[in-house]
Structure 1
């Protein structure tokens, strides 16, 4: 698990390879990732947008942007967290993701960026 704190918002990410949804012979490797976003600050915040940069080991880079996460724009109160699970497919058995969330403080409407730490997507057999 990797973790990063930006402006009082802690983002932790854990990954798992999903062999049942993968087909290595056809260069299709599916990974799930669980993100926990914890508001360690004193103000309620809302996750407005996401931006991901996805890399695989053949040099391919993809950018993904959109509103919220998994169809939600959650409000996270001080001391609370929001957790979600999503997925990513790669054409190689090793890759990585990193990105940012655009957050908004509810009290004053001020937007700020929260960094998502880089994490690796690696099939278990590559770790041996």
Structure 2
């Protein structure tokens, strides 16, 4: 599990290869990832947007930006967390992702960025 803390917000990510949705013969590899966002600070925050960098092991790079996560802009109170599951497809059986969330501190409506740690997407058979 990859974890990083930025300005009192802890982001942890774990990945799961999805063989039932993958088709290696057609260079299609599907991965799910579970993200936990924990507010370790003193003020409520809202997740406004996301910005992902996605890398295949063949050197291809993609960027994905959008509002919230999986259709939500969750408010996370101090001491609480928000968890969600999403997915990513690659053209190779190994790759990585990293990025950032834009958060809003509800106390004063100030915006700040929270890092998403780099994590690896690896088909299990590559680990042998």
Q: What range is the shorter-chain TM-score in?
A: over 0.9
Deviations 1:84-119 (A, max 9, x none): 000000000000000000000001000000000000
Query: Aligned-pair RMSD on alpha carbons?
Result: 0.2
Aligned counterparts of 1:29 and 1:40: Cα–Cα separation in 2: 35
The 3-state SS of whatever aligns with 1:48 is strand
Runs of 4+ in 1 over 4 A off after TM superposition: none
Superposition pairs of residues 72-83 of structure 1, within 5 angstroms: 72-83=72-83
- Matched length: 128
Unaligned 5+ residue runs, structure 1? none
What CA distance in whole angstroms lies between the structure 2 residues aligned with 1:77 and 1:14?
Answer: 23
- Equivalent residue number for residue 50 of structure 2: 50
Alignment correspondent of 2:84: 84
Distance 1:98 1:3 in 2: 11
Deviation at 1:79, TM superposition (A): 0.1
Q: Cα distance, 1:122 vs. partner?
A: 0.1
TM-score (norm 2): 1.00
Residues 14-93 of structure 1 mapped to structure 2, 5 A cutoff: 14-93=14-93
SS in 1 for 2:41: coil
**2 CA distance for matches of 1:25 and 1:6?**
40
Normalized against structure 1, the TM-score is what?
1.00
